[in-house]
A and B are shown apart, each in its own frame.
Chain A
Amino acid sequence: DAKTTQPTSMDCAEGRAANLPCNHSTISGNEYVYWYRQIHSQGPQYIIHGLKNNETNEMASLIITEDRKSSTLILPHATLRDTAVYYCIVRVPYSSASKIIFGSGTRLSIRP
């Protein structure tokens, strides 16, 4: 799996949009971008994934650049409960043994 680069930490004011960047410059054509988050010592929670088109669900939006070398996860109206470590992962979901390999992630702090 290709590696990703994320800021170690970020903060955002409550109610504002949180934009979390991720670089994946060595991503290959069949690799998807996945985002997970882990709220203090809880199980990692799936947020969203995409291949090349922008995606949106009830939790977040995912913006992938045209060259697919980077992406941004957007939490539109951050709340205190969004404080967590966010992981950007690239993987081929349909390979024979496609486990998720986690990096260090971005520690997002939401301030009141």
Chain B
Amino acid sequence: EVQLMESGGGLVQPGGSLRLSCVASGFTFSHFEFNWVRQAPGKGLEWVAYISSSGNTIYYADSVKGRFTISRDIAKNSLYLQMNNLGADDTGVYYCARHQAFDYWGQGTRVTVSS
């Protein structure tokens, strides 16, 4: 069974940092590309970042470029999102999703940026 499990969310002050993790199981992690997607409270889905299966190709939404870093560790079957210089607009639930079709999603981890 394919499973994606995010963690690392929480309450952080404006300007602070967080590192989100997504552990994958039930499939060959190294074969797939991944994305991070977020959803602000009561709002729609917003794509955040993409990483290819090799990790050599990475894309970011303009809203996070220069502040967020996506990465992966094949040995740990894990995807990461390092988030720096966080602002109130970064508040929301963050999901990891597999493949360019976003065919499997995790349950999400909640990030709240507030003083």
Q: Do A and B come from one complex?
A: no
